[in-house]
Amino acid sequence: MAVSSSFRTFVLEQLGRVIPRIRARSMFGGVGIYAGDLFFALIADDTLFFKVDDSNRPDFEALGMGPFLPYGDERDKMQYYQVPADLLDDPDALRPWAERSIAVAAKKNKRARKR
């Protein structure tokens, strides 16, 4: 799950143009990306993934984007889907995708705090 420093920098710069308080944290060979305290994205193998649920997963699937498979096995897929690469070059297009993933993270975080 190696992440090149150039890709990490590029992703953070692009996300920083559309989302306030972006920060990154190295984890398990990849990078976790936060908007404030909300973990909404990750980078693995120089690929960006956004958090999904039933509200935004169809958008990713409609473009043929797949889930993050940390072990290469469909049974272990996580609720993060690959972000279409062309979005990273277009801040206006990237913003709503990132905002929806942050909203998913906020919902999950709210539910976790109620427990």
Domains of the chain: 5-114 (3.30.1460.30)
60 in Cβ contact with 82 (< 8 Å): yes
Query: What local confidence, expressed as pLDDT, does residue 109 receive?
Result: 75
Q: What is the pLDDT of residues 30-42, one digit of tens each?
A: 999 999 999 999 9
Query: What local confidence, expressed as pLDDT, does residue 113 receive?
Result: 65
Residue 68 pLDDT > 70: yes
Q: What is the pLDDT of residues 86-101, one digit of tens each?
A: 999 999 999 999 999 9
Residues 6+ apart with CB under 8 A from 79: 51, 52, 53, 67
**Residues 27, 31: Cα–Cα separation, whole Å:** 5
What's this model's pTM, rounded to 2 decimal places?
Answer: 0.90
